Amino acid sequence: MRTALIMFPTSEGDSLYHLMTRTVNGEFLFDDTDKEMLRKIIIQVADYCGVDALTYALLCNHLHLLLMIFRAAPVADAELLRRYGVLYPTPTKYQAARLEVIQAQLETNGPEAVAWRQRQLRLMGDVSSFMKLVKQRFTIWYNRTHHRFGTLWAERYKSVLLENDAPAILPTAVYIDLNAVRAGIVEDPKDYHFCGYAAAVAGDLRAQRGIMAITRCATWADAQAVYRQVMFGTAAGAREHGKVLSVEAFEKVAKEGGKLPLATVLRCRLRYLTATAVLGSRLFVEAQLAAYRRNTGLRLNRGPRPLPGFTDWKGLVALRGLRRRAFT
C-alpha cells in the first residue's frame, strides 16, 4: 500500500501549502451554486481554523487552494467562541444550550470547558483538520441538496509545502488562478467568478489581502498590477494568440543548453507545483525531510532533488522527483 507523503512544517513560523483535491472519478459534478457554497464553506472553515486562503480555484471536478498556516499563538476564549459561532452560525437548540454552559464554565475554567477548549484548539492551525472539515461539510450539503449518498471526493488531498519567500510562490498562485483559462472556460481569469483573483477584482477585501500577501505589495493597486502582468506574461497571453510552447520545443532548447525564464519553465512543467511534496531551498527541503523521518520513523529513501538544468531555478529544489515523461 502506498504511504501518504504529507509534510508538516518544521518550525513555529508561518507555512504555506498548495492543496488539491478532486471529485470521485473526476466527474464534472459542481455547478455555479455548488461552487458558491464550496467557497462559502472554505471561508468559514478558514476563519474557524485561524488560517488564510490566499487564493483558490474551484472547478467542476476539482479545487486548488493556496493556504497560509500561521505560527502557533495562544487563542483567547473569546476568540474560540467567536470562531465556533462562525462554524455554527445557527446552532441547534441543544448546541445553543450547551454553549451557554461552556461560556459559564470558561469563566471558572471548569472541567467541561477545559475539555471543550482542548478539542477546539486541536483543530486550529492544522492543514489536515482544515481539509477534513471542508470536505466533510461540503459533502453533507452536496448529498442532501442533490439527493445522493456516498463518497464525493476521489481520494485524500494532495499537498505541496512551499517555503515562504521562495520564488515558486508567485508562479504557484498564478497557476491556481489560471485554471479556468487553461480549461478554456474564460479568456481572462477576472471573468471566472470562482477564483481568488476574480473575487479580488470584484472588491472582496479578503481576496485582495491574499493577492497582496502573495505579491508582497502594500496596496491592492500595486498587487493587482504585478499579479496581472505575471499572469498574462506566463500563460494567458500565449493562449490568446493560440500559441503554446510544445514539449518537443521545450526539450530541444534544453538539450541545446538554452536557459528559459523560470515562469516559462513552470508553465511547461506544471507538476513541479502540484506533485513535488516540498518545494524550496535545499536547506528547507532537508529540514522537512529530517522532521518527517523523525516523526514517522520511516527512512524515506530519498533526498532533495535538483530540478532540471533548463533554467536558473534560483536555488529551488524538490523533495519528490517527477517522471521524465510526465509533462502537463
User: Residues 168-190: what's their mean pLDDT?
Assistant: 87
231 — pLDDT class (breaks 50, 70, 90): confident
* DSSP codes of every residue in 257-301: T----HHHHHHH-GGGGTSSSEEE-HHHHHHHHHHHHHHH-----
Task: State the pLDDT confidence band at 210, using cuts at 50, 70 and 90.
Answer: very high
CA distances in angstroms from 160 to 88, 200, 206, 222, 277, listed in the order given: 30, 24, 23, 28, 4
Share of the chain above pLDDT 70, in %: 66
Q: Which residue has the higher pLDDT, 51 or 317?
A: 51
What number is the average pLDDT over the span 80-85? 88
Q: Residue 31: what pLDDT?
A: 96
Does the structure show a pLDDT above 70 at 322?
A: no
Separation between Cα atoms, residue 88 and residue 206, nearest integer Å: 21
The pLDDT of residue 73 is 79
Q: Name the 3-class secondary structure at 67.
A: strand
Distance CA 67, CA 258 (A): 34
* Residue-level pLDDT at 67: 95
pLDDT-above-90 percentage for the chain: 34
Which runs of E-coded beta strand occur in the chain?
Answer: 15-22, 51-58, 62-69, 158-162, 278-280, 305-306, 317-318
Q: How confident is the model at residue 282 (pLDDT cuts 50, 70, 90)?
A: low
For 128-152, what is the mean pLDDT? Answer: 95
Place of cell 502557533: 72
Higher pLDDT among residues 264 and 285, named by residue: 285
The total of other beta-carbon atoms located within 10 Å of residue 117's CB is 17
- Please check the confidence at residue 28 and state whether its pLDDT lies above 70: yes
> Residue 36 pLDDT > 70, yes or no?
yes
Q: Write the pLDDT tens digit of every residue in 44-66.
A: 999 999 999 999 999 999 999 99
Query: How far apart are alpha carbons 111 and 117 in whole angstroms?
Result: 10
- State the pLDDT at residue 14: 79
pLDDT band at residue 225 under the 50/70/90 scheme: confident
Checking if the pLDDT of 95 tops 80, the result is no
pLDDT value of position 242: 36
Q: Which range has the top average pLDDT, 104-108, 141-145, 319-323?
A: 141-145
Is the confidence at residue 105, as pLDDT, over 60?
A: yes
Q: Hey, where are the domains in the chain?
A: 15-72+127-242+281-305, 87-122
Rg (CA), the chain: 21
- Across the range 142-159, mean pLDDT stands at 92
CA 294-296-298 angle, to 5 degrees, is 90
How do beta strands 15-22 and 158-162 pair?
antiparallel
CATH code 3.30.70.1290 for 15-72+127-242+281-305: yes
3-state secondary structure of 327: coil
Mean pLDDT of 277-286: 67
Residue 220 has pLDDT above 70, yes or no: yes
Q: How confident is the model at residue 311 (pLDDT cuts 50, 70, 90)?
A: low
The SS3 of residue 95 is helix
pLDDT at 313: 60
